[in-house]
């Protein structure tokens, strides 16, 4: 009997998780955590959840690792030993046992008699081609069948980003505009360490446009294969963040300003919601894309999905880059004395 590859990947996941808990070097822990996300993406791929795997690879192994490393620049790179507390361990074990117990009566993985395969799933599969003409069923489900839910998720991205901005820029005691001026002044006088490495400069100059091009492919090919606004937004953001890491925040600010990103953050949600409002004005229900084209309901649905996915991509891109701006801006502000900051701004 062949040992299933899914079980092997799962064992690697357990080993990686245990390694993260035992590491005291936070940089190494961040790297291993990125490996954990990459293994998770591989496991999702083996389970035929390619869209989920795409998102996990882009968000978990990609942008999250960058943001964790940005956070480490503001903290101690090593974890200080804490006294052993048994109460949290007991809570974790009890919750874990309850979750495992709750899965005992679930259908087996891939069971064709599972309830999900008998009710809504057949309708989604049939409607994917007859109603939408779009091969990627996941796109149909996310943008149309559960379009209200995806609009809520996009709004959550907007709200969470605003919360990060308040915590790092407002409640943290440093206004974002002031930090941006400090970063711009400092960046004009002294290059970043990565900026001195010719290989990094050349590689980023070549790779960044290719990453953006791939992001466009993922954005507009999400109807026919794995992809969509969430994945494409993270890919766009990774290209911009790579530019900021290598060439500095002042250079990134010249490419895309924080004010532009703040406008785009809200504009993406407005594009999504506005598509639903447009369907109301054309005598349809909210997010009923069929009425967007009175000559072809299928074309109207396809057009509506493209519009809402574009809104998602814009919001996610702006959210990721704004968060990076705030993390990196605090690092630049922290590296200067208060008197130096006042002289620079003056």
Q: Mean pLDDT over residues 277-285, rounded?
A: 91
Categorize the per-residue pLDDT at 132 as very low, low, confident or very high, splitting at 50, 70 and 90.
confident
Long-range contacts of 251-256 (CB under 8 A, 24+ apart): 251/187, 252/325, 253/180, 253/183, 253/184, 253/325, 256/321
**What mean pLDDT is predicted for residues 79-105?**
88
Say whether pLDDT at 170 is over 70.
Answer: no
Least confident of 51-65, 90-104, 202-216: 51-65
Q: How confident is the model at residue 184 (pLDDT cuts 50, 70, 90)?
A: very low
* C-alpha dihedral, 204 to 209 to 212 to 214, nearest 10°: -100
Q: Which residue has the higher pLDDT, 250 or 128?
A: 250
Name the residue with tokens 């911009």.
240
pLDDT of 307 higher than 90: yes
Mean pLDDT of the chain: 82
Fold type of domain 1-106: 1.20.120
Res 339 pLDDT > 70: no
pTM (two decimals) = 0.79
pLDDT band at 2; cut points 50, 70, 90: low
Shortest CA distance to 154 belongs to which of 264, 56, 237, 277?
264
151 vs 5, residue with greater confidence: 151
pLDDT score for 201: 84
Share of the chain above pLDDT 70, in %: 86
Q: Each residue of 135-161: pLDDT tens digit?
A: 888 888 888 888 999 999 999 999 999
Angle at 209 between CA 179 and CA 320, to 5 degrees: 40
CA distances for 216 relative to 220, 235, 275, angstroms: 6, 9, 21
Mean pLDDT of the 172-186 span: 42
Cβ 218 vs Cβ 231: under 8 Å = yes
Q: Which two tokens stand for residue 121?
A: 């799933």
Domain spans in the chain, listed from the N-terminal domain onward: 1-106, 135-346
Give tens-digit pLDDT for 226-280: 888 998 999 999 899 988 888 888 888 999 999 999 999 999 999 999 999 999 9
């Amino acid at each position: 009997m062949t040992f299933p590859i899914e079980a092997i990947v799962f064992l690697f996941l357990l080993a990686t998780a245990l390694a993260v808990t035992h590491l005291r070097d936070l940089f190494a822990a961040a790297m291993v955590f990125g490996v954990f996300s990459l293994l998770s993406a591989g496991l999702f791929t083996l389970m035929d959840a390619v869209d989920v795997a795409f998102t996990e690879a882009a968000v978990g192994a990609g942008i999250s690792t960058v943001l964790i490393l940005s956070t480490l620049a503001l903290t101690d790179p090593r974890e200080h030993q804490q006294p052993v507390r048994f109460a949290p361990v007991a809570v974790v074990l009890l919750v874990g046992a309850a979750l495992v117990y709750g899965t005992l009566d679930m259908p087996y993985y891939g069971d064709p008699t599972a309830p999900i395969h008998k009710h809504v799933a057949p309708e989604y599969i049939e409607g994917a081609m007859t109603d939408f003409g779009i091969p990627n069923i996941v796109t149909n489900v996310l943008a149309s069948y559960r379009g209200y839910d995806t609009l809520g998720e996009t709004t959550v991205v907007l709200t969470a980003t605003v919360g990060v901005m308040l915590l790092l820029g407002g409640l943290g005691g440093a206004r974002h505009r002031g930090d941006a001026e400090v970063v711009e002044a400092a960046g004009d006088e002294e290059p970043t360490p990565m900026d001195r490495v010719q290989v990094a400069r050349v590689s980023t100059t070549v790779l960044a446009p290719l990453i953006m091009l791939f992001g466009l492919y993922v954005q507009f090919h999400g109807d026919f294969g794995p992809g969509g606004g969430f994945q494409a937004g993270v890919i766009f953001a990774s290209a911009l963040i790579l530019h900021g890491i290598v060439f500095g925040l002042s250079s990134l600010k010249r490419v895309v300003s924080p004010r532009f990103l703040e406008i785009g953050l809200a504009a993406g949600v407005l594009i999504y919601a506005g598509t639903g409002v447009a369907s109301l004005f054309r005598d349809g229900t909210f997010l009923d894309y069929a009425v967007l084209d009175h000559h072809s309901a299928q074309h109207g649905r396809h057009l509506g999905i493209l519009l809402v996915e574009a809104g998602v991509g814009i919001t996610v891109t702006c959210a990721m880059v704004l968060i990076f701006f705030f993390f990196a801006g605090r690092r630049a502000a922290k590296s200067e004395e208060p008197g130096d900051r006042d002289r620079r701004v003056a």
